[in-house]
Amino acid sequence: MKYSTGKMERVFAITIEHGESAVEQLAKLARKENIRNGYIFILGALGSGRVVTGPQDLSLPTVPMWGDFADVREVVAFGSVSWKDDAPKTHLHVVAGRGGDTLVGCLREGGKAHILLEAVLFETQFDDLSREFDEGLGAWMPKHG
């Protein structure tokens, strides 16, 4: 286990409106407000999306399995905001359901709000936390210290 200590900064109440991309709007806010680190909670509905639903097997680097939905789904999501080079990077995991059909995974494409998405973004400050791509794992990983 590795960890960093930090503190809470600002808290943002966000409404992502019908047809807007969740990932794009969160990145836009992070850039405008210079949010370097944060954690996001979202609820509402999405009109479409493409998600990574897990690795194909236990080998590394991972080869993703994909899941798609083109209908409207009720969603809850949790994610993080960090920066890669000079741009904000949003990492969102969603639970997207419709009737008895549920899809869980990391939202990679799509993710447009249907009616609205309500979100709360908690800005955090860590002196020794960044993210780096780990070639061996095939993933962006937190780097402490």
pLDDT at 130 over 90: no
Is 112 within the bounds of a domain?
A: yes
Question: Residue 17's domain spans which residues?
Answer: 10-126
Is 63 within the bounds of a domain?
A: yes
Query: What tens digit of pLDDT does each residue of 42-85 get?
Result: 999 999 999 999 999 999 998 999 999 999 999 999 999 999 88
Q: Contact 60/33 with Cβ under 8 angstroms? A: no
Could you tell me the CATH number of the domain that includes residue 82? 3.30.1330.80
Is 144 within the bounds of a domain?
A: no
Is 15 within the bounds of a domain?
A: yes
Is 145 within the bounds of a domain?
A: no
Domains: count for the chain: 1
Query: What tens digit of pLDDT does each residue of 73-101 get?
Result: 999 999 999 998 899 999 999 999 999 99
Is 135 within the bounds of a domain?
A: no
**pTM value?**
0.91
SS3 state at 138: coil
Helix segments in 3-145, DSSP class H:
22-33
Candidates 121, 134, 42; CA nearest to 82 is 121
Q: Contact 43/27 with Cβ under 8 angstroms? A: no
CA distance 100 to 95: 13
Is 133 within the bounds of a domain?
A: no
Is 4 within the bounds of a domain?
A: no
